[in-house]
């Protein structure tokens, strides 16, 4: 099974030579990475600490202060939240009957760390677990038909009639609210249906929030409208740092997570901690997800790479492109385009504001994986390039007056036409 061959590398139990190194007092079979993540607070703390690329931003400082500290304000004391949700259908948004609400089933096998059970749970959570509640006004506007989901680029799945990955959540006090799920931003319509992992480059969350909240301060509203489709600020309260939603399919290969690489992905536990803490901050630090949900999501996200061509050198028809890639790109992007390290903005000729953000900056951008890049929407951290053809287009390098001062990411712009075409072909096979 492809998943077992490629997908679960990080789950192979680490060698536990001495019992002490397995973190438990009792002698038993060694636990997998995710088994330890589920059951050992000290392991989770260590996974957090080893995954922070720098401790010098607010993202890191908040987590170090709240995640598995053992102190009174430790996030692990928050209630584990698994609310009843029903998926939002185009018909139910217009007043039709909503599908039955149900919480995620958390089978004991998942709690015990069974990979199959966690993977299935993660797949369901990706489409159903509430990631970010929408303000009441936005909900009212969506339901009244004042906000039309398609106008904001929310996807529509003809097979299920679902809209934009929205769910209706039953809140603790009995009220209800609409919420985004991971799939709202991280799934997109492809020629053969919805593709999980690909960013929805059409979703204009900023405009939807602005239109749905008529009483926003004018300068805040203007900022939201400037984000544009495919860009979201998930970091600041002020909305000053929109970034392009990344492609999650090559996630397993990325050494660094986030455009500015704030998280170092050392193993699947780094990702589980990242997902868990994202959900805690996404819900104003009032609840935490059950750990099976964050572990399952991490496992599911890693499995998305199985939908990409297998890693490695593609067939001989791409030899010329491979040579160009090896000379021009592999030094940063990895021999197989799997993604690389951190590069200062000046070295990739990109705007440095997000790299140096006090919120989640490291001073650099991570070099993204190029696997699946031809199906990706907006490129670069700020989504300033519309797609691969635009990135490779030599006209980016000239203005009517002559050479442009500084086209961003210029590495292919001076290639002879044949080489550029060969490179384009190679990239579509990665």
CB proximity list for 202: less than 8 A, separation 6 or greater: 153, 155, 188, 229, 230, 377
Tokens of 340: 């690389």
Comparing CB distances to ligand HEC, the nearer of 160 and 384 is 384
Pick the piece of the chain touching ligand HEC (CB under 6 A) from 76-84, 87-95, 309-317, 324-332. 324-332
* Under rule CB under 6 A, residue 371 binds ligand HEC: no
Contact 367, 339 (CB under 8 A): yes
Comparing CB distances to ligand HEC, the nearer of 22 and 165 is 165
Contact 222, 230 (CB under 8 A): no
* Under rule CB under 6 A, residue 251 binds ligand HEC: yes
Pick the piece of the chain touching ligand HEC (CB under 6 A) from 20-28, 106-114, 302-310, 344-352. 344-352
* Under rule CB under 6 A, residue 381 binds ligand HEC: yes
Comparing CB distances to ligand HEC, the nearer of 90 and 243 is 243
| Beta-carbon-side half-sphere exposure of residue 388 (alpha carbons within 13 Å) | 15
Among residues 270, 318, 338, 350, which is the contact residue for ligand HEC, using CB under 6 A?
350
* Under rule CB under 6 A, residue 322 binds ligand HEC: no
Comparing CB distances to ligand HEC, the nearer of 258 and 288 is 258
Contact 283, 180 (CB under 8 A): no
Comparing CB distances to ligand HEC, the nearer of 22 and 121 is 121
- Residue 33, CA distances (Å) to 107, 291, 303, 315 in order: 19, 13, 16, 35
Selection from 25, 38, 250 nearest residue 47 by Cα: 38
Contact 349, 410 (CB under 8 A): yes
Cα separation, 410 vs 328, whole angstroms: 11
Among residues 232, 295, 304, 305, which is the contact residue for ligand HEC, using CB under 6 A?
232
- Interface residues for ligand HEC in 270-299 (CB under 6 A)? 275, 279, 297
* Under rule CB under 6 A, residue 53 binds ligand HEC: no
**Pattern of binders to ligand HEC over 389-428, x per CB under 6 A?**
--x-----------------x-xx----------------
Terminus-to-terminus CA distance in the chain, angstroms? Answer: 21
Among residues 365, 371, 377, 419, which is the contact residue for ligand HEC, using CB under 6 A?
365
* Under rule CB under 6 A, residue 332 binds ligand HEC: yes
Q: What is the phi-psi region of residue 333: left when phi exceeds 0, alpha when psi lies from -120 to 50, beta otherwise?
A: alpha
Cα separation, 210 vs 221, whole angstroms: 6
Contact 227, 206 (CB under 8 A): yes
Burial class of 317 by CB neighbour count within 10 A (0 to 12, 13 to 18, 19+): exposed
Comparing CB distances to ligand HEC, the nearer of 22 and 427 is 427
Comparing CB distances to ligand HEC, the nearer of 8 and 243 is 243
Which residues would be at the binding site for ligand HEC (CB under 6 A)?
131-132, 180, 182, 184-186, 205, 232, 234, 243, 245-248, 251, 254, 257-259, 275, 279, 297, 301, 328-329, 331-333, 343, 347-348, 350, 360, 365, 367-368, 370, 373, 376, 379-381, 388, 391, 409, 411-412
């Amino acid at each position: 099974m492809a998943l077992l061959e490629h997908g679960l590398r990080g789950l192979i139990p680490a060698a536990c030579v001495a019992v002490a190194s397995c973190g438990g007092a009792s002698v038993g079979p060694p636990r997998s990475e995710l088994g330890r993540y589920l059951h050992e607070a000290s392991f989770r703390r260590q996974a957090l600490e080893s995954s922070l690329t720098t401790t010098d931003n607010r993202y890191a400082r908040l987590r170090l202060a709240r995640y598995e500290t053992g102190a009174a304000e430790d996030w692990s004391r928050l209630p584990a939240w698994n609310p009843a949700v029903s998926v939002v259908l185009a018909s139910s948004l217009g007043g039709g009957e909503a599908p039955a609400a149900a919480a995620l089933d958390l089978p004991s096998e998942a709690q015990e760390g069974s990979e199959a059970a966690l993977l299935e749970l993660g797949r369901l959570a990706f489409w159903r677990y509430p990631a970010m509640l929408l303000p009441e006004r936005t909900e009212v506007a969506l339901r009244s038909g004042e906000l039309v989901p398609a106008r904001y680029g929310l996807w529509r799945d003809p097979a299920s009639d679902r809209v934009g990955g929205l769910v209706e959540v039953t809140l603790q006090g009995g009220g209800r609210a609409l919420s985004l799920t991971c799939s709202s931003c991280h799934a997109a319509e492809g020629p053969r249906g919805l593709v999980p992992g690909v960013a929805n480059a059409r979703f204009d969350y900023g405009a939807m929030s602005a239109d749905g909240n008529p009483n926003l301060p004018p300068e805040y509203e203007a900022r939201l409208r400037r984000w544009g489709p495919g860009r979201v600020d998930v970091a600041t309260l002020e909305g000053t740092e929109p970034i392009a939603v990344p492609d999650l399919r090559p996630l397993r290969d990325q050494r660094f997570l986030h455009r500015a690489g704030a998280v170092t992905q050392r193993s699947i536990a780094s990702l589980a901690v990242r997902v868990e803490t994202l959900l805690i901050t996404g819900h104003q630090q009032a609840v935490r997800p059950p750990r099976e949900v964050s572990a399952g999501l991490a496992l599911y996200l890693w499995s998305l790479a199985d939908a990409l061509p297998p890693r490695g050198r593609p067939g001989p028809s791409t030899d010329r492109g491979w040579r160009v890639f090896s000379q021009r790109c592999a030094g940063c992007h990895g021999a197989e385009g799997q993604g690389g390290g951190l590069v200062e903005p000046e070295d990739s000729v990109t705007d440095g504001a997000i790299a140096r953000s006090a919120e989640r900056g490291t001073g650099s951008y991570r070099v993204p994986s190029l696997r699946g890049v031809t199906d990706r929407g907006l490129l670069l951290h700020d989504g300033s390039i519309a797609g691969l053809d635009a990135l490779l287009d030599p006209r980016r390098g000239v203005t009517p007056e002559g050479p442009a001062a500084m086209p961003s990411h210029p590495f292919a712009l001076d290639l002879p036409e044949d080489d550029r075409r060969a490179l384009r072909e190679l990239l579509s096979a990665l």
